[in-house]
Amino acid sequence: AVGALGVLLAGLPLPPRVRVSMRRCPQPNTPWHHVVGAALGEHLPRSEFKVVPGADGVDVMFFRPDSSWRT
């Protein structure tokens, strides 16, 4: 599912931030922020975002969000 998110984001103006919640997901052997970063990195340049772990998921923050997202 995270790979599909990467495909979606690659075709859209990037937002400032995306939250990925892990509900009813078994804990992987690798931390979630590494899993999400690797999956998104297949579709977006890794230098364009950072992934920050949270209590029940991760936050993905984009360094250069599209201006259409600003209010």
Q: At 54, is the pLDDT very low, low, confident or very high (cuts 50, 70, 90)?
A: confident
Q: What is the pLDDT of residue 46?
A: 94
59 versus 3: the higher-pLDDT residue is: 59
Q: What is the pLDDT of residue 45?
A: 95
CA 57 – CA 49 distance, rounded (Å): 16
The mean predicted confidence, pLDDT, of the chain is 91
- The answer, yes or no, to whether residue 71 has pLDDT greater than 80, is no
Residues 53, 32: contact at Cβ < 8 Å?
yes
Q: 35 φ, ψ to 5°? A: -60, -50
Q: What is the pLDDT of residue 16?
A: 96
